[in-house]
Structure 1
Amino acid sequence: MSQAIHYIKQDHINQNGTALHASIPTEAVTIRVGGALDKVTLLSSLATACDFPSYFSHNWDSAWDCLTDSEARHLTLDLTTIKKINTEDFNVFKNIIEEAYQTFGKPQLWIIVPPE
């Protein structure tokens, strides 16, 4: 498992949204997405969650730049209500998180997945 990305099963989260077995930092910023996960949704939601500056260009390079300049050190993304995931876009997003973490030691991402 990567140090940057952690997967937590939904059944390990209590009703208050607190992890029962894994430790999601209380200061983690939640990336809120609707029923579909794609590039547009991820970039918009990430920009909102991390309060990206107005010059954010809504592309992957700009997301990396703004994310590494952001104060956000911990992020959560809940996949349990997502109906459709563009896996290519999701993989690019995870690669950005990995690269940012390797370069700057932040952010870490906790992904909440449905129970099996």
Structure 2
Amino acid sequence: MSLPQVVVLDTRGAHDKATFLEACARSLDFPSYFGHNWDALADSLGDFAADKAPVLVVWTGFSDLDADVRDTAVEIMTERFVDGADLLIVDDVVAPPQPDYALDHVQVAIPEGAEDTAREFWVGVVGLSETPKPLALAQRGGVWLTGEALNLHLGVQRDFRPATQAHPAIMVRDYDTLMARLRAAGHDVTPAGDLPDTRRFHTHDPFGNRIEFIAF
């Protein structure tokens, strides 16, 4: 049995019949000839259910509607959503609040002209992907890298000195494989067992910067 696709019927801010029907047409992608009346809604919902089945319609904004509009809409949907279509009424859908702070990226310094060596380590061994730098910044050199939930910027520093204490700590899913790849490529790997229930190790990039990897 296939899982139903989920379609959101968003009628937030609609109160009367006209604004409700407009919201239905927009959310459920009714055809341009939709008649914007109750009979047209019944016909379009029947076609929608037949075309999309199996489908789950999540209706938000239910409580914004005038009582008579709400009652008529529920009656029509109950009649039309019979085979292969289900209705879930969610009175309020609230987007999660954005945090006050979040980390956009981490920057690690590299020497001038060392971009290719950095790529060999971060892309070839660690497995990150390179993303193009904006044109306005590309002339400065360096490399921008991304992972599934990671933005790492390698910035050129003229008077480069490796960071032997301050370091990024990067969480990785395939922890053991990464450790093996680093060792095979000749990089030092020093496991740390001082934190309970945490698997982590330290290594260094080709320029001596300290890097920590932690298992998810």
**Higher alpha-carbon Rg:** 2
Match of 1:108 in 2: 86
Query: C-alpha displacement at 1:42, in angstroms?
Result: 1.9
- Match for residue 45 of structure 2 among 67, 80, 94: 67
Letter in 1 for 2:86: Q
Over aligned residue pairs, what C-alpha RMSD do you find?
A: 2.3
Instruction: Between the two structures, name the one with larger relative contact order (CA 8 Å, sep ≥ 6).
Output: 1
Closer/same/farther in 2, CA of residues 36 and 44 from structure 1, 3 Å limit:
closer
Aligned residues: 86
SS of the residue 1:110 aligns to: strand
More helix by share: 1
SS of the residue 2:87 aligns to: strand
Match of 1:78 in 2: 60
SS of the residue 1:28 aligns to: strand
How far apart in 2 are the matches of 1:67 and 1:45?
A: 13
Contact 1:28-1:74 at 8 Å conserved across structures: yes
Indicate whether 1:91 and 2:56 are aligned: no
- Match for residue 39 of structure 1 among 3, 10, 17: 17
Segments of 5+ residues of structure 2 without an aligned counterpart are: 93-216
Stretches (4+) displaced over 6 A: none
How does 1:17-36 map onto structure 2 within 5 Å? 27-36=5-14
Contact 1:100-1:106 at 8 Å conserved across structures: no
Contact 1:68-1:100 at 8 Å conserved across structures: yes
Percentage of identical aligned residues? 29
Query: C-alpha displacement at 1:107, in angstroms?
Result: 3.1
Segments of 5+ residues of structure 1 without an aligned counterpart are: 1-24
How far apart in 1 are the matches of 2:56 and 2:13?
A: 23
Query: C-alpha displacement at 1:48, in angstroms?
Result: 1.3
TM-score w.r.t. the length of structure 2 is: 0.35
Match of 1:17 in 2: none
